[in-house]
Structure 1
Amino acid sequence: MAYHLLKGKRGIIFGALDEKSIAWKVAEKAVEEGASIVLSNAPIALRMGKINELAKACNAEVIPADATSVEDLEKLLSKSMELLGGPLDFVLHSIGMSPNVRKKIPYTDTNYDNFQKTIDVSALSFHKVLQTAWKLDALSEWASVVGLSYIAAQRTFPGYNDMAEAKALLESIARSFGFHYGNRKKVRVNTVSQSPTLTTAGSGVEGFNGFYHYAEKMSPLGNAGAEDCAAFCVALFSDLTRKVTMQNLFHDGGFSNTGVSQAVIEGVEA
């Protein structure tokens, strides 16, 4: 059911790869709620994924951009404003990659060149998106920017490796830039700490299935799925959340505030 929450709004969705992606679901939901969007991902991801199918369904343009490249971001934001007919009302940052995770390099044997790449792609790209938008005046008053995070920024999940540091930095950037952008133009900047979600990217994390099933047993409402996350992001893009900024918002079925559940106790005692 659509509520027309984003009627007339314009935005960019970063990171849609395939139909399992949270960004894919956010794009679909945003358009369902009345938004016009541009889709963007790194050129290599565009070759690997199915984003053209999504673009057709959403009547959206696809603009390749390496989010670690300020030059690419300048072109993306300028072209997006041209295509959509004005400044942007929302942006979703759903970008994360760790060479150490991909190569199964243990955290205690971290390759530091890989670590720097993790930080650049998964966190500094968020700052670069915001700073580029700031310099181009690409966001409208009361615009909303959302980055996707995970509770490993606060608690240790060993298999999450150096992505934990990247998510912690991502959340800090949201607070810092949210302060400046709020003062300047009432732009809201938040992160959403999502349940472990069955996506192509998530499944590459060592022990992901264990994370997923543990969280499902711990969470009173169960894990939040990709479609649930899309609905939450749309609410954050909408005018209903105009005074919510600089927050890390847990969208995890109650996992983050649950010490232990009966299901987990029973599993341990079995």
Structure 2
Amino acid sequence: MPDKAHYGLLKGKKGIVFGPLDESSIGWQIALHAYREGAEVAISNIATALRFGNIQELAESCGNAPVIMCDASKDEDVDKAFKELSEKLGSVDFIVHSIGMSQNIRKQVPYEELNYEWFMKTLNVSGISLHRLVSFALKNDVLNDGGSILALSYIASQRNYWTYSDMGDAKSLLESIVRSYGPRLAKRGIRINTISQSPTYTKAGSGIPGFEKMHEYSDLMSPLGNASAEECAEYAVTLLSDLTRKVTMQNLFHDGGYSSMGATIPMIRLADEALHDEELAARVGLEDFSPSK
């Protein structure tokens, strides 16, 4: 990471980031930026992530941060994780949920033919796990008053993105949990939000069929271009800090303006050219999506 100004926004705070795997993951960047803004950080992921990721490297970069193994889809794992967190770090001021997976997407199962066992796992790991983290943090009294809970979402929670499949349903559930928990946490001054990030080249994101095209299209449609994982982390730090203590129950778009765009002139011209080029239209399958005449 190049040298950048740091402002001490999280000085004196403690927190835990669930889900970082390697340098490409947004959770990794959030943990690193939180540490560089003065926070003490703990890191958590499933046990197999130790073999396939670089979590120990991240822990060292974050001042030898404690690493807590936890499968956030299991009650007993989450309960144990927060007990361990309390022993190693004490109560915390923020929790970051950066967890998501879909076997249906990984196996490229069409949405109309979802494997329902995998579908339920998608919802559990990618959505319900947030509820589980919040609930067990409260039960173990490990989250301080005035704290911040943050989860990562995507615009497919609200709009259809064909190849995002059952992850769109999971992100919708994730955002609903945020709204449902918001008032229940507010009496302690705890806020809870999601960031809806641009398509980002993470291990999970890159596994989505046609991801490169999604990424390129989004970049062309965003006035400021796609936001990187590092830029997302910089934004996340503000939501973990006291500067945003009255922001809660929000899904905050961090996508270069993509979510507010209709179309750009170059993209309209490109679509028009494709629609009037029969060979090109056939090659990309436009006839399957052509509007009624």
TM-score range, shorter chain: over 0.9
Whether 1:154 aligns to 2:158 is yes
1:178 aligns with 2:182: yes
**1:205 alignment counterpart:** 208
| Alignment partner of 1:13 out of 17, 21, 40 | 17
- Read off the aligned partner of 1:158 and give its amino acid letter: W
Match of 2:30 among 19, 26, 32: 26
1:78-157 to 2 correspondences below 5 Å? 78-84=83-89, 86-157=90-161
Q: How far apart, in 2, do the equivalents of 1:269 and 1:171 lie?
A: 36
Distance 1:180 1:137 in 2: 15
Of residues 39, 43, 46, the one that matches 1:35 is: 39
Task: Please show how residues 180-259 of structure 1 align to structure 2 within 5 Å.
Answer: 180-183=184-187, 185-259=188-262
Structure 1 position 139, deviation (Å): 0.7
* CA deviation string 1:111-145 (max 9, x = no partner): 11110000000001000001101111211011000
Q: Structure 2: which 5+ residue stretches go unaligned?
A: 274-293
Structure 2 residue aligned with 1:76: 81
Q: 2:96 aligns to what SS in structure 1?
A: strand
Encode CA deviations 1:51-72: one digit per residue, 9 max, x unaligned: 1111111121111100011211
2:270 pairs with one of 256, 267, 270: 267
Q: Matched residues in 2 for 1:221 and 1:165: separation?
A: 28
Greater than 6 Å deviation, 4+ residue runs: none
Percent identity over paired residues: 52
Deviation, 1:82, is 2.0
Q: CA deviation at 1:78?
A: 1.7
Amino acid at match of 1:219: S
3-state SS of the aligned residue for 1:89?
strand
Give the C-alpha shift of residue 18 in structure 1.
Answer: 0.6
Residue 62 (structure 2) pairs with residue 62 (structure 1): no
- The one-letter amino acid paired with 2:18 is F
- Partners in 2 of 1:264 and 1:23 — Cα distance? 32
TM-score (structure 2 length as normaliser): 0.90
Distance in 2, matches of 1:169 and 1:10, equals: 27
Aligned counterparts of 1:136 and 1:243: Cα–Cα separation in 2: 25
- Describe the SS at the equivalent of 1:37: strand
Give distance in 2, aligned partners of 1:261 and 1:94. Answer: 31
Shift of 1:38: 0.5
Asked if structure 2 preserves the Cα contact closer than 8 Å seen for 1:146 and 1:189, the reply is yes
Native 8 Å contact 1:15 1:23 kept in 2 = yes
List alignment gaps of at least 5 residues for structure 1.
none
2:55 aligned to 43, 47, 51, which one?
A: 51
Aligned residues: 268
CA deviation string 1:157-211 (max 9, x = no partner): 000010000000000001111110112x111010110000011110001111111
**Given that residues 218 and 263 in structure 1 are in contact (C-alpha distance below 8 angstroms), is that contact kept between their aligned partners in structure 2?**
no
Question: RMSD in angstroms over aligned alpha carbons?
Answer: 0.9
Cα shift at 1:268:
2.2
TM (normalized to structure 1)?
A: 0.97
Radius of gyration: which is bigger? Answer: 2
Q: Check the 8 A contact 1:13/1:91 in 2, yes or no.
A: yes
1:266 CA displacement: 3.5
